Structure 1
Amino acid sequence: MSTREETRQRVIDAAIDLLTREGRDAVTTRAVADAAGLQPPAIYRLFGDKEGLLDAVAEHGFTEFLASKRVDPDPPDPIADLRAGWDVAAEFGLSHPALFTLMYAEPSRTASPAFEAGMRILMGRIRRLAAGGWLRVEERLAAQIIHATVRGAVLTWLSLPEDRRDPALLTALREAMVTAVTHQEPAVREKGPAGAARALRAALSDQETLSGAEQHLLREWLDRLAAEG
């Protein structure tokens, strides 16, 4: 790590320490510079301005969160895997309340590279649910529901007085998310494209969206996919 990178990280660490101990209002350029053993102009050279510093702190938070994620490319129980991923996100937020609040305070901060990497992990989890016939809604909507419920759960928990924080709140919101995005039983019993093709082919007679010609063409494609299994 170069001297500049080391100094930059020292400033970020100082800002996180102030944020954690004293709240966001305590994170001024002068206070951070003093805590890092630097002069205030150094903050501007490294981060541009205070918002640039806060963006860097948020990116550090997203990177830490990404490192906490556990990824199983082929979980034996995809619903349990979904719950576990939600719990990891909630636990991170409850363990880093000030940092979590800063990370999600402004939509622009969720454009960070680490946030996007975390979303790719989430989309992979959702894609496995879809492939197994578990997914109730479209994949992007599922990601939005999962993300919104865990963020809302953490921020609501943090807004409550400590004597009113009931763990049942977190469990209820997690289970509401599971119910919203998944079926109780998989719509596809067989793994892979062949099983999915058979399930979709069986359901075609119940829909009226496609024309007769479109249904005929789709059945031809599905028959070819089903035959490969």
Structure 2
Amino acid sequence: MTFAAPPRGRDQPPPGPQIQHNRAGEERAAQLVHAAGSGTVISLVGLPEAPVSDHPGPVPAAVALRAVLQRTDVLTDGELSLLREWLDRIARSTT
């Protein structure tokens, strides 16, 4: 695919490097797509699991956050204790 360069005025910079289009055969293209898909799946499988809920609202969110709270190291012990208390209270609620 070739594009014609627009006419340049005196104040315009020279054109940048030419775009080079690479062409891959069908077999190579299929290999590249397969490799990209495999890498994505491997990356997703390596992610930590978090509880998933079909019900939106604060209770499932509190349960999910409580489940992964031990992975954080930015809160003090007192802050973690308070947050756990709040999340437990939300998780026990019925609303």
Q: TM-score range by the shorter chain?
A: 0.5 to 0.7
Q: 1:161 to 1:168 in 2, by over 3 A?
A: closer
Q: Is the 8 A contact 1:29 1:50 kept in 2?
A: no
Residue 177 of structure 1: aligned partner: 40
Letter of the 1:28 counterpart = A
Give the 3-state SS of the residue equivalent to 2:53 in structure 1. Answer: coil
Give the 3-state SS of the residue equivalent to 1:29 in structure 2. Answer: coil
1:218 correspondence with 2:67: no
Letter of the 1:29 counterpart = P
Structure label with greater radius of gyration: 2
Letter of the 1:219 counterpart = R
Question: How big is each residue's C-alpha offset from its partner over 1:2-61, in whole Å with a ceiling of 9 and x where there is no partner?
Answer: xxxxxxxxxxxxxxxxxx3x2xxx53223xxxxxxxxx66xx9xxx8579xxxxxxxxxx
1:167 to partner: Cα distance: 0.7
Letter of the 2:53 counterpart = E
TM-score of the two chains, using structure 1 as the length reference: 0.28
TM-score of the two chains, using structure 2 as the length reference: 0.53
d(CA) in 1 for partners of 2:13 and 2:72?
56
1:170 to partner: Cα distance: 0.6
1:186 to partner: Cα distance: 5.2
Give the 3-state SS of the residue equivalent to 2:52 in structure 1. Answer: coil
d(CA) in 1 for partners of 2:87 and 2:4?
59
1:189 correspondence with 2:40: no
1:219 to partner: Cα distance: 1.0
1:180 to partner: Cα distance: 1.6
d(CA) in 2 for partners of 1:186 and 1:225?
21
Structure 1 runs (4+) deviating above 6 angstroms are: none
Q: 1:176 to 1:163 in 2, by over 3 A?
A: closer
- Which structure has more relative contact order (CA 8 Å, sep 6+)? It is 2
Question: How big is each residue's C-alpha offset from its partner over 1:142-183, in whole Å with a ceiling of 9 and x where there is no partner?
Answer: xxxxxxxxxxxxxxxx63543662413212212312432466
Q: Is the 8 A contact 1:197 1:225 kept in 2?
A: yes
Residue 200 of structure 1: aligned partner: 65
Question: How big is each residue's C-alpha offset from its partner over 1:58-112, in whole Å with a ceiling of 9 and x where there is no partner?
Answer: xxxxxxxxxxxxxxxxxxxxxxxxxxxxxxxxxxxxxxxx7xx8xxxxxxxxxxx
Identity among equivalent positions (%) equals 28
Give the 3-state SS of the residue equivalent to 1:190 in structure 2. Answer: coil
Letter of the 1:175 counterpart = S
1:220 to partner: Cα distance: 2.6
Letter of the 2:6 counterpart = T
d(CA) in 2 for partners of 1:163 and 1:212?
57
Residue 61 of structure 1: aligned partner: none
Q: Is the 8 A contact 1:188 1:199 kept in 2?
A: yes
User: Aligned residue pairs: how many?
Assistant: 88
Residue 28 of structure 1: aligned partner: 5
Question: How big is each residue's C-alpha offset from its partner over 1:101-136, in whole Å with a ceiling of 9 and x where there is no partner?
Answer: 8xxxxxxxxxxxxxxxxxxxxxxxxxxxxxxxxxxx
